[in-house]
Structures are given as structure tokens and as C-alpha cells.
Amino acid sequence: MSGPPERTTHAFDSVAAQYAAARPGYPPALFDAVEELAGWPLAGARVLDVGAGTGIASGLLRARGARVTAVEPGAAMAAELRAGHPGIPLVRAGGDALPFADEAGFDLVGYAQAWHWTDPARSVPEAMRVLRPGGALALWWNVPDPDVPWAAAQEARLARRLPGYYAHGAAPEAPEVIRGLGLGLRPETRVLHWTRTVPLATHLAMLGSRSYFAVLGPEAAAPVLADERAALLEVFSDGRVEEAYALDLTVVRRPGP
């Protein structure tokens, strides 16, 4: 796992508006679980949302009462965040080098769909550096639910069609990666299951906003997405897709009182 290559960063910028419009959010149960594992409420907490993208998690954390600062390296993604969440402070940076002082006093450093673009040997110590004692690092990903047949079938089709397709990022490996850094940290995990129902066009736009498709480019992605449209209409004949997610969460606290 390492930081995003420049090509991928630019590719995400090329689909920034699509990302903002089509990507799923996160259910309230996620933030309940973050509070449970961290041991304190998000209301009033100082939170860094790193790799904030278009601000999907930033907005939800602010709605929960957190005092959010967004951190995002991509220009177009940052522009979408500013437009959609003008009240959230934004810093242009990445997680491997956070531009904040030691023990900056943050209660939470969060990564939504983003930690796999960092170098854990750098990003985890950086998070611990800017957290207050007893603060927490939280990592989460919406992953297509492997226990839902149509979602598993779609992932298998994409893997066959697209050599090198890597759908799930670092979600399952995150706890072991953190333990392997030798920092004495004790990650805890939860898996939450949830769904959202969207028009087929939104589902296809969501797929197209994934990093693999963004790098592939619209011309090469078009026939793959057209085939997915046909396959999904056999399952969802009314053109409304019930997306099913297994939401992987890892939380690790900075030692302290």
C-alpha cells in the first residue's frame, strides 16, 4: 500500500463531479460505532477528514456535531468540497505529511475510502502525532457486500473483464498492517451492513467514479459499463438498483489518558 500515483490523483479529479453526485454516503450506524470504539462522542470533537474528496464524510461528520477540517490533495475534488460544504475549512495536503503541529489536539483523524492511498508507515505515525492522547484514528470503506449474490457476481464480472481490477482496497488488511508497524497500537474493527436504492444510471456513475475506471478513461470504460447495465437490468428490471455494502471500520486509539 502506498500513496496515490500522480496519474490516479489526476484521474480522480477528472471524475470529481461524478464522484460527488453518485458515491454513497455512510449510515448513522457508522458514526455510532466510531463513538463506541473511540470512547467519546463526535459532537464537539475536533476532526480531521483526510483524503476528504468531495466532502461526503466531512458533511456527515459536521452534521453529527463535529468540528471538521477537511484535508484533500486533488484540485477538482477540493473544488467540489468547497462548493458543497463552504463552511468546512479545507487544507490541501495528503495523509503522509499532515501540515499540523505535534499534538495539534485533534480528537479524530478519519479516512473515508482513502487510507489505501497512503503509505501506512508514514500516515499512521502522522495521525498519532497530531492526535491528542486518547484520540483515535478511524478508517472506513464501503465495500460491495460479498454475501449478496448480485453484488458478488458483479465484482466477479469486473475482475474477469478488467485485468488488475482491485475492488476492495485495503479494508480487510488494515488492522494487520497497523499491528505490523511496531507502534504498539491495538486496532479494533466492525463490519456494518447497509443498503441504498438508486437509479441504474446512478449506480453506473458510481462504478465509473472508482479509481480503476477513472484511470481507464471514459472511452475504454464505456463498453464495460454498457455490459453492466444490461446485466443489472436482468436483476433489477425496474431500473432501480439496491446497492448492498459491507462497511469495514477500523479504529485505533492513541495511547494516553
CA 91 to chain centre: 18
Residue 254's CB is within 10 A of a number of other CB atoms, namely 20
pLDDT digits (tens, 9 = 90+) for 83-127: 999 999 999 999 999 999 998 899 999 999 999 999 999 999 999
Mean pLDDT of 39-59: 97
Residue 164's CB is within 10 A of a number of other CB atoms, namely 6
Q: How far apart are CA 209 and CA 223, in angstroms?
A: 15
Q: Is the pLDDT of residue 153 over 80?
A: yes
Residues 6+ apart with CB under 8 A from 191: 246, 247, 248, 249
pLDDT of residue 257: 66
pLDDT digits (tens, 9 = 90+) for 225-235: 999 999 999 99
Asked if 16 contacts 75 with a C-beta cutoff of 8 angstroms, the reply is no
Q: How far apart are CA 244 and CA 251, in angstroms?
A: 23
pLDDT of residue 143: 93
Q: Is the pLDDT of residue 3 over 60?
A: no
**Three-state secondary structure readout of the chain:** CCCCCHHHHHHHHHCHHHHHHHCCCCCHHHHHHHHHHHCCCCCCCEEEEECCCCCHHHHHHHHCCCEEEEECCCHHHHHHHHHHCCCCCEECCCCCCCCCCCCCCEEEEEEECCHHHCCHHHHHHHHHHHEEEEEEEEEEEEEECCCCHHHHHHHHHHHHHCCCCCCCCCHHHHHHHHHCCCCCCCCEEEEEEEEEEEEHHHHHHHHHCCHHHHHHCHHHHHHHHHHHHHHHHHHCCCCEEEEEEEEEEEEEECCCC
Q: Is the pLDDT of residue 7 over 50?
A: no
Mean pLDDT is lowest, of 24-33, 169-178, 188-197, for 169-178
Q: How far apart are CA 124 and CA 183, in angstroms?
A: 9
pLDDT of residue 213: 85
Mean pLDDT is lowest, of 30-34, 70-74, 94-98, 162-166, for 162-166
Q: How far apart are CA 129 and CA 250, in angstroms?
A: 18
Q: How far apart are CA 216 and CA 155, in angstroms?
A: 17
Phi and psi dihedrals of 227, rounded to 5?
Answer: -65, -35
